[in-house]
């Protein structure tokens, strides 16, 4: 679950994150368009309503216009902020709950927290922004803007592709915390993600891009064709 939204009377999470994001995006866009149209009418209409027929509105109608604008602008600004916040979370592959401020830990490694901090850990689900966006909005850019097209999500709502980390080359293949405690073993094949499915090019291309965001961590990559053991890369 990402969060509970009283506006839609439902929880936002695995199955409806994309429709909710587009709902906020289009609401913010329509509110912005209305604000510009209202501004044009309120400040550029002729003083005499008989001078131009398209502005022939009664004083009561003009009051209604002002009343609507007063309520529209705060909601519009709030929706713009909410939409940007949701986009940042999708960009970083992070939920609202995970993005809540922590006293001893910053979840976003690209926000300037020095890697020397012992409590500093990167977001383990950040598989770089192109894949983060595809995981929620779908593989095709054309369908990103269509709310009724829901892509086939990865992870069944419980397990998701993560940044692979190990503490040493001899450690059993798994997802490990920096202190070496195993959080989840990949012994069950249905939860075993092949990172070559997430990155269509050479997995090393991912490492080169990840070096811009992460440092001081060890990554394990699937073996190439003809290789028996996984490759270990220290960033």
For every residue of 168-216, DSSP letters joined together read STTSPSEEE-TTS-EEEE--SGGG---HHHH-SS-HHHHHHHHTTT--S
Q: Which residues of 101-134 are buried (b: 16+ CB within 10 A; e: fewer)?
A: eeeeebbebeeebeeeeeebbbbbbbbbeebbbb
With bands split at pLDDT 50, 70 and 90, how would you rate the model's confidence at 151?
low
Q: In this predicted model, what pLDDT tens digit does every residue of 55-86 receive, in sequence order?
A: 566 777 777 777 888 888 888 999 999 999 99
Q: Provide the token pair at 203.
A: 């997995």
Q: Is 13 helix (H, G, I), strand (E, B) or coil?
A: coil
Q: In this predicted model, what pLDDT tens digit does every residue of 116-126 receive, in sequence order?
A: 444 445 566 77
Domain ranges across the chain: 1-157, 162-235
Q: What are phi and psi of 123, to 5 degrees?
A: -65, 115
Average pLDDT over residues 175-184: 32
Average pLDDT over residues 113-141: 68
- 8 A C-beta contact, residue 187 and residue 156: no
Average pLDDT over residues 184-188: 36
With bands split at pLDDT 50, 70 and 90, how would you rate the model's confidence at 25?
very high
The whole-number pLDDT of residue 111 equals 42
The whole-number pLDDT of residue 81 equals 92
The CA distance from 19 to 12, in Å, is: 9
- Output DSSP code: residue 117: -
Average pLDDT over residues 149-153: 68
**Burial tier of 28 (Cβ tally within 10 Å: 0-12, 13-18, 19+):** buried
Q: How far is CA 208 from CA 29, 147, 203, 233, 235, in A?
A: 37, 34, 9, 11, 9
């Amino acid at each position: 679950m990402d969060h509970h939204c009283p506006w839609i009377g439902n929880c936002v999470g695995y199955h409806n994150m994309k429709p909710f994001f587009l709902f906020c995006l289009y609401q913010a866009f329509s509110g912005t368009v209305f604000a510009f149209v209202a501004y044009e009418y309120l400040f550029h209409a002729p003083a005499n309503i008989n001078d131009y027929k398209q502005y022939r509105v009664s004083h009561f109608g003009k009051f209604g216009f002002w009343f609507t604008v007063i309520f529209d602008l705060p909601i519009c600004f709030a929706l713009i902020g909410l939409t940007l916040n949701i986009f940042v979370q999708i960009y970083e592959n992070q939920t609202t709950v995970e993005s809540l401020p922590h006293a001893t830990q910053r979840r976003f490694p690209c926000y300037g927290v020095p890697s020397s901090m012992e409590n500093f850990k990167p977001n383990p689900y950040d598989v770089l922004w192109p894949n983060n966006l595809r995981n929620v909005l779908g593989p095709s850019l054309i369908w990103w803007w269509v709310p009724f097209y829901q892509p086939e999500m990865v992870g069944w709502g419980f397990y998701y592709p993560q940044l692979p980390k190990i503490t040493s080359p001899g450690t059993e293949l798994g997802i490990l915390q920096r202190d070496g405690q195993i959080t989840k073993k990949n012994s069950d094949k249905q939860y075993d993600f092949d990172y070559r499915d997430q990155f269509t090019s050479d997995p090393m291309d991912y490492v080169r891009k990840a070096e811009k965001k992460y440092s001081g961590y060890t990554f394990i990559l699937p073996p190439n064709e003809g290789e028996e053991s996984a490759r270990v890369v220290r960033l």
